[in-house]
């Protein structure tokens, strides 16, 4: 009994000693998550609109961008911007060097903007075509129709898939450990390698679960709120 109590006490002390390092990594994870979400959501909209553009070059550029970033692994994109981009710019005598955190933000924003663009494009195309015709009969321009009528309705419809992507994003942040960004997974791995104890991985998993739980609750709240407004509009 005393041995079990001593073991439990030692475990709790070890957990307490690990938490500052893991929480510091969790803060960086949240920074990557927030910056990616704040920048990629608005960036995805012009690519969604461009994919449906009547101007062929714009449509091809947007579709190619989405195809490349959705069709290649996120980790490969991280390696590209972290290792290949400096080599390429050096060959052009531009000497562009990016640290790990900046590389992670740029890569994640470009990657998730492509996914959000497809979600937004699907949401726009789900709006009944009759609303375009009604707007045209009222004398509204194409831009007035899109930004005043179509996009507000699209936002309500794409909320569930956008929420799912946000939950995926918080887990994908673990990938930046491969370019030496000291986020949560990197901190846990460092503790495991140092102490030869996998407790840090368990604690990191619990922190990720907490993040995803909070995001799930927030997404359900937003979906219910928008659904209530839709009922009122009817």
**pLDDT category, 49, cuts 50, 70, 90?**
very high
Lowest-confidence segment of 20-29, 135-144, 177-186 by average pLDDT: 135-144
How large is the average pLDDT for residues 212-219? 94
* pLDDT at residue 203 is higher than 70: yes
Q: Which of 107-111, 158-162, 223-227 shows the highest mean pLDDT?
A: 107-111
* pLDDT at residue 5 is higher than 70: no
* pLDDT at residue 199 is higher than 50: yes
Cα separation, 37 vs 105, whole angstroms: 10
Write out pLDDT tens, residues 17-42: 999 999 999 999 999 999 999 999 99
Closest residue by Cα to residue 176 from 36, 2, 9, 61: 36
Closest residue by Cα to residue 207 from 179, 188, 192, 182: 188
Buried b vs exposed e over 114-144: b needs ≥16 C-beta within 10 Å?
Answer: bbbbbbbbebbeebeeeebeebeeeeeeeee
In sequence order, which residues have a C-beta less than 8 Å from that of residue 157 and are 6 or more positions away? 123, 126, 127
54 phi/psi in degrees, rounded to 5:
-80, -10
* Average pLDDT across the chain, whole number: 88
**What pTM value is reported for the model?**
0.88
**SS3 call for 195:** helix
Quote the pLDDT of residue 233.
Answer: 42
Q: Write the DSSP string, 31-97.
A: HHHHHHHHHHHHHHHHHHHHHT-SSHHHHHHHHHHHHHHHHS-HHHHHHIIIIIHHHHHHHTT----
Cα separation, 27 vs 85, whole angstroms: 27
Write out pLDDT tens, residues 54-93: 899 999 999 999 999 999 999 999 999 998 887 777 776 6
Q: How many CB atoms lie within 10 A of CB 182?
A: 18
> How many alpha carbons fall within 13 Å on the CB side of residue 136?
6
Q: Report whether 219 contacts 160 (CB < 8 A).
A: yes
- The three-point CA angle 51-56-61 to 5° equals 55
Question: What is the distance of C-alpha 231 from the center of its chain?
Answer: 30
CA torsion 204-21-78-90 (nearest 10°) is: -170
Quote the pLDDT of residue 171.
Answer: 94
Write out pLDDT tens, residues 83-117: 888 777 777 667 777 889 999 999 999 999 999 99
Domain range 2-233, its CATH number among 1.10.3720.10, 3.90.420.10, 1.10.150.120, 3.40.109.10: 1.10.3720.10
* pLDDT at residue 1 is higher than 70: no
Q: Report whether 115 contacts 128 (CB < 8 A).
A: no
Question: What is the distance of C-alpha 87 from the center of its chain?
Answer: 27
Quote the pLDDT of residue 12.
Answer: 86
């Amino acid at each position: 009994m005393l041995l079990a109590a001593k073991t439990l006490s030692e475990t709790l002390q070890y957990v307490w000693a690990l938490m500052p390092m893991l929480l510091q990594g969790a803060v960086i994870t949240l920074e990557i998550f927030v910056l990616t979400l704040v920048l990629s959501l608005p960036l995805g909209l012009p690519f969604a609109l461009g994919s449906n553009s009547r101007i062929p070059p714009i449509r091809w550029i947007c579709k190619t961008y989405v195809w490349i970033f959705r069709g290649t692994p996120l980790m490969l994109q991280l390696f590209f911007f972290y290792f290949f981009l400096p080599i390429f710019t050096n060959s052009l005598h531009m000497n562009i060097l990016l640290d790990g955190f900046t590389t992670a933000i740029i890569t994640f924003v470009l990657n998730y903007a492509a996914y959000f663009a497809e979600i937004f494009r699907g949401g726009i195309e789900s709006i009944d075509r009759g609303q375009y015709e009604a707007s045209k009969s009222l004398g509204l321009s194409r831009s007035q129709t899109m930004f005043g009528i179509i996009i507000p309705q699209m936002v309500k419809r794409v909320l569930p898939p956008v929420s799912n992507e946000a939950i995926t994003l918080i887990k994908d942040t673990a990938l930046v450990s491969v370019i030496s960004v000291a986020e949560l997974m990197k901190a846990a791995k460092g503790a495991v390698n140092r102490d030869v104890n996998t407790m840090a991985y368990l604690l990191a998993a619990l922190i990720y679960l907490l993040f995803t739980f909070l995001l799930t609750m927030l997404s359900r709240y937003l979906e219910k709120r928008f659904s209530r407004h839709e009922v009122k509009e009817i």
